[in-house]
């Protein structure tokens, strides 16, 4: 969307989990034309979280629908077993949960060795310090602002403090290369507050793939992010 705030470029990542899969191609094109910067794919295994969603074949299908980057958010146990398939499907970035593996350093290294960018996600009850020792291996940290596993949840207000804490951690570590993404309950009505706390990448699902046309929603987002505070 080519919007900057507090010296940071802001990116919008529609989550296809909230899209109508019977109209997936149409909705992906509409979001891309309206101003999406990348697409976010929530991949769940029914074990780390209760839900079960899609796998690498959907990624391959999406590659035919858009030239925008695709990022996978793996809400799965043993994320390492999916990485080669995702690399073959030309995934741009893979984000794994710090809580889902006891070998985070190894998993991040494998993501990088396969030519993909790496990210780490933390759930609402996980401390920000969980990512401190791997900042040199990632280009994104994802702060969940809802509990992972279900779309359409309400934003957890006290997670604003966690976003601020993560921004402080990144700044103190000199990790300017690491983007700070938020996921869960983000919409035009609260995105400005979240951006002020230091987030620069925003996953939005039901807010984008809802009743309003994508063009209208992106217009609301732009106004919220560029309005005088």
Annotated binding site for substrate: 15, 73, 149-152, 183-185, 205-206
**Residue 31: exposure state from Cβ atoms within 10 A (0-12, 13-18, ≥19):** buried
C-alpha distances in angstroms, 206 versus 31, 49, 77, 128, 166? Answer: 12, 19, 25, 26, 25
Which are the contacts of 67, defined by CB distance < 8 A and separation ≥ 6? none
User: Per the annotation, where are the binding residues?
Assistant: 15, 40, 42, 73, 149-152, 183-185, 205-206
Instruction: Return phi, psi of residue 14, to 5°.
Output: -60, 135
User: Per the annotation, where are the binding residues for a divalent metal cation?
Assistant: 40, 42, 73, 183
Q: How many degrees, rounded to 5, is the angle at CA 164 between CA 101 and CA 74?
A: 25
Residue tagged active-site, from 37, 42, 45, 200: 42
Residue tagged active-site, from 37, 45, 183, 200: 183
42 an active-site residue? yes
- 39-44 β-sheet, strand order: 3-5, 8-14, 201-204, 179-183, 140-144, 117-122, 93-97, 70-75, 39-44
- Structure letter (DSSP) for residue 45: B
Identify whether the C-beta of residue 47 lies closer than 8 Å to the C-beta of residue 148. Answer: no
196 an active-site residue? no
* Strand-pair category, 140-144 with 179-183: parallel
- Which are the catalytic amino acids? 42, 183
């Amino acid at each position: 969307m080519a919007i900057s705030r507090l010296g940071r470029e802001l990116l919008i990542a529609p989550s296809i989990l909230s899209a109508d899969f019977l109209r997936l191609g149409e909705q992906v094109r509409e979001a891309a034309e309206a101003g999406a910067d990348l697409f976010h794919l929530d991949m769940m295994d029914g074990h780390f979280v209760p839900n079960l969603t899609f796998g690498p074949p959907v990624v391959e299908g999406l590659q035919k629908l858009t030239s925008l980057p695709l990022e996978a958010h793996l809400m799965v146990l043993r994320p390492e077993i999916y990485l080669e398939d995702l690399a073959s499907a030309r995934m741009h970035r893979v984000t794994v949960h710090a809580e889902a593996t006891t070998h985070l350093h190894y998993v991040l290294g494998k993501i990088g060795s396969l030519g993909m960018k790496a990210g780490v996600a933390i759930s609402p009850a996980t401390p920000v310090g969980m990512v401190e020792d791997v900042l040199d291996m990632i280009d994104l940290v994802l702060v969940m602002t809802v509990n992972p596993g279900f779309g359409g949840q309400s934003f957890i207000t006290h997670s604003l403090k966690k976003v601020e804490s993560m921004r402080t951690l990144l700044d103190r570590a000199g990790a300017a290369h690491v983007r700070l993404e938020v996921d869960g309950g983000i919409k035009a009505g609260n995105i400005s507050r979240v951006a002020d706390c230091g987030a620069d990448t925003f996953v939005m699902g039901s807010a984008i793939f809802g009743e309003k046309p994508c063009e209208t929603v992106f217009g609301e987002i732009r106004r919220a992010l560029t309005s005088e505070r």
